[in-house]
């Protein structure tokens, strides 16, 4: 019970990596406030994970007032917050930067980056009380870049920089700040992304091959790493961008070398 009696505020927690995290956090003893902007997604998650120790909140992470209210409801319900896991994110559009519209750019940064600003702004006082921690879901592309995903890669590069800067800012309060950086992970978002790529027929083979371990995993492998980072097992880890990538930073090069 690594997270016994811990209260975790988890955004984007009703599907994909977020829901895998929700399940493993709950199994480890945590109480959860799970945020999603989709009523349908909340209903589907509730059908699998329902408990008096799980509070579902419909809110748009990019809207400050909505997150302020969600934080307040969490504290009213559970009495505290020990962990904020900023997992909510989107990847659209699959375009080069000159093809990306201003609206697409703004939505990407609002969901992937501004959301962290919002949860931290309204949740940091609670974390100071509990000497809690923050976990951000980033991506390997934030460090490596990715073709036809310039705007998305830029948001994840921003998440990485934020993570390190926040780790320095909040260390004096005993608050740790870390990030996980997956490569390919089979989630609803990745499946939708796959259908947007130029060669959809070969995308599964491509995603398997970019990982040095030879396969594209499900979200549970990332959730296991997240469990470690938010728990006291990682009590001396902060400012870390942890790849959970199956060696994809090597695998990309392996695929590239095979095609030359």
Structure tokens, 138: 């980033």
d(CA 38, CA 25): 21
Nearest C-alpha neighbor of 229 from the set 183, 158, 176, 182: 176
Helix (H, G, I), strand (E, B) or coil at 243: strand
Tell me, yes or no, if 77 is annotated catalytic: no
d(CA 248, CA 196): 21
H or E stretch at 242: strand 241-244
Beta strand pairing call for 133-137 and 176-182:
parallel
d(CA 181, CA 240): 10
257 backbone φψ class: left, alpha, beta (φ>0; ψ -120 to 50): alpha
Residue entry with tokens 């990745």: 190
d(CA 183, CA 174): 30
- Bond from prior residue into 109 cis (ω within 30 degrees of 0): no
d(CA 260, CA 255): 9
Catalytic entry in 25, 56, 152, 170: 152
Which of the 8 DSSP states describes residue 13?
Answer: -
Q: Which residues are catalytic?
A: 152
């Amino acid at each position: 019970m690594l997270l016994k009696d811990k209260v975790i505020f988890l955004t984007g927690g009703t599907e994909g990596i977020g829901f895998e995290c929700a399940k493993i956090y709950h199994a480890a003893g945590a109480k959860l406030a799970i945020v999603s902007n989709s009523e349908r997604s909340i209903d589907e998650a509730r059908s699998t994970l329902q408990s008096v120790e799980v509070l579902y909140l419909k809110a748009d992470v990019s809207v400050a007032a909505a997150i302020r209210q969600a934080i307040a409801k969490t504290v009213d319900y559970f009495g505290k917050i020990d962990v904020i896991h900023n997992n909510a994110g989107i990847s659209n559009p699959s375009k080069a930067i000159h093809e990306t519209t201003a609206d697409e750019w703004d939505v990407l940064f609002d969901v992937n980056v501004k959301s962290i600003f919002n949860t931290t702004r309204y949740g940091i006082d609670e974390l100071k009380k509990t000497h809690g921690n923050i976990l951000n879901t980033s991506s390997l592309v934030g460090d490596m870049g990715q073709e036809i995903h310039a705007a998305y890669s830029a948001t994840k590069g921003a998440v990485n920089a934020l993570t390190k800067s926040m780790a320095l800012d909040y260390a004096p309060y005993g608050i740790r700040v870390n990030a996980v950086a997956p490569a390919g992970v089979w989630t609803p978002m990745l499946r939708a992304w796959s259908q947007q790529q130029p060669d959809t027929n070969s995308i599964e083979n491509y995603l398997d091959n970019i990982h040095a371990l030879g396969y594209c995993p499900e979200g549970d492998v990332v959730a296991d790493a997240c469990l470690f980072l938010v728990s006291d097992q990682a009590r001396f880890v902060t400012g870390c961008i942890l790849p959970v990538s199956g060696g994809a930073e090597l695998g990309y090069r392996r695929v590239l070398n095979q095609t030359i």
